[in-house]
Structure 1
Amino acid sequence: MSAARKLLLLPLLAAGRRSVRPSQPLLFRRSYSADKAGESANRGKRSPVRRVLSIGVISLAGGVALSALNDLAIFHGCTRKAIEKATDNRVVVEAIGVPIVRGPWYDASVAVGQRRRSVLCTFPVSGPQGSGLFHVEAIRNGEDGMLSFLRHHDWEILVMDAHLEAPSDDGNQKTIIVNLTSSADRL
């Protein structure tokens, strides 16, 4: 390589552009760097739009995450109240035993309505002797505030049914349907 060519390449190498091969013509090297300068100028013009778009996407994702977290808190609060009510029922305790354990949330069905003040929920439960499904319709007591989704709410159960699979005397499973809304069969 000639000394003159090395002098021409020295500023490019010092600037960190080692990807340009010395065998390329000087004209190409200049147009390449001019294209890069034009791209960086265009990138600066699009930058505020990209920032606004990024903030919008992050805000939307945050809102969806907060809504899902709120629905999960509603699910846990409502099912906790339903399990407490079922533990007080003699027929349910005889059928599946105690402790009654709530199944996983992903096997449940939850419908929240009226500004998150009412819920319709079906979820699996199990006990030492059997398992089943609880169907609950409940309303929330309390007032709405700025950060009300962070507070524990008291749920009033309006309708509650239990569909239980329990062992029978002949060794087979029997299905028991219990209406837990009435106060009958309390322990």
Structure 2
Amino acid sequence: MKTTLLLCAVGFASFAFSGKAMSQSLITTLVEISPNVPVNGSVDGSFFQNYPSGTLVFTDFQAFCVEPGQGLSYGQTLTFDLQNPGDLVNSVAISKLVGGFLASGGTALDAAAVQWAIWEVVAELSPTRSVTEGNVILSPSSPSNPDGDAVATLANQYLANIDTFAPASLYYLTHPDYQNVVTWTIPEPGSAALAALSALVLLRRRRR
């Protein structure tokens, strides 16, 4: 996950609609990853790096990444396309993992563990679901990776118990050049437009 730009930006999310229901887009900005736990690992089994692992916080919603091979930077404004969640590979498993997270305490460890569990589901090439083997793998704990074992253990617990979680209703947001994500809440078109209009009116009043 590329996070080279560390300045957080705040903006407004808005929907752009065409005449058809499936032609929806969402303009939003990545603010931060929070809660998160930085851990070292790999999503292809060969290139290891430190990942700030947790929930992606956009201007109006939180999300999890479902495309670990793509980058995304703090402060980056994106136009996502809203897709049918059923088009996402392993969408049922992902919805159950998100449901498990929403039913948890929502700690930083939970957020990091669920993110790695989702990456295991979407990117692992072997039939075994475990973040301690295969190509999607977390490095063991070390002085530079103190939470590696804790995140791996919890991620594997989520994967082992996946069928016990109630699935969350998800929105699947895609981008042609950056990470695709899933979220469980996005602003209604009317409320987003109203928020943007209210902010514009307030700004004009302050300038008078």
TM-score normalised to structure 2 length: 0.22
Q: Which has the larger radius of gyration?
A: 1
Structure that is richer in helix per residue: 1
Q: Which structure is richer in relative contact order (CA contacts within 8 A, separation 6 or more)?
A: 2
